[in-house]
């Protein structure tokens, strides 16, 4: 067990609840997702209701797939009386580390009914081959 002792009287105990606030806030605002796989592919489904295809960017870099986008606000206020709005607007970003056997060159994306589905092919397993190694003379 790790014991934690305060460094000074007031500030550490006051600061502690806010220590990871930024990470928790970004997780809360990030779109919900799920990942699955079969023998040939990995799939990542991300809920993006109300986000248009032109406002989504998918990149693959060094074993990481990143989805960035923006849900834009589009409402007119002409004479309407708003009582409440629970809709969220703004930019988002989600990154997913790919497994070692994922083929980064074969990633596809499909947006249907507000769900973006990324499909990543699995790389074919390397077949072990044997060969004779010549022995040199010193």
The reply to whether 14 falls in a domain is no
Q: What is the pLDDT along the chain (138 residues), one digit of tens a residue?
A: 444 444 555 555 555 665 555 545 444 567 889 999 999 999 999 999 888 999 999 999 999 999 999 887 766 666 677 676 666 778 888 999 999 999 999 999 999 999 999 999 998 777 778 888 888 887
The reply to whether 24 falls in a domain is no
The reply to whether 39 falls in a domain is yes
The reply to whether 115 falls in a domain is yes
**pLDDT of the residue at 84:** 67
CATH of the domain at 114: 2.60.40.790
**Number of structural domains found in the chain:** 1
- Domain region containing 107: 32-75+87-125
Supply the Cα-derived Rg of the chain in whole angstroms. 24
Does the global pTM surpass 0.75? no
The Cβ of residue 94 has, within 10 Å, a number of other Cβ atoms equal to: 19
Residues 6+ apart with CB under 8 A from 107: 58, 60, 65, 118, 119, 120, 121
The reply to whether 38 falls in a domain is yes
The reply to whether 94 falls in a domain is yes
């Amino acid at each position: 067990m790790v014991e934690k002792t305060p460094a000074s009287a007031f500030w550490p105990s006051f600061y502690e609840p806010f220590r990871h606030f930024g990470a928790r806030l970004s997780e809360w605002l990030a779109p919900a997702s799920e990942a699955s796989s079969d023998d040939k592919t990995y799939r990542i489904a991300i809920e993006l209701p109300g986000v248009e295809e032109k406002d989504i960017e998918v990149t693959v870099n060094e074993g990481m797939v990143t989805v960035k986008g923006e849900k834009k606000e589009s409402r007119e206020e002409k004479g309407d009386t708003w009582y409440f709005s629970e809709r969220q607007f703004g930019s988002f970003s989600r990154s997913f580390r790919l497994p070692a056997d994922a083929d980064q060159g074969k990633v596809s994306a499909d947006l249907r009914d507000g769900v973006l589905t990324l499909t990543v092919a699995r790389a074919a397993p390397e077949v072990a081959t044997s060969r004779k190694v010549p022995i040199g003379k010193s």
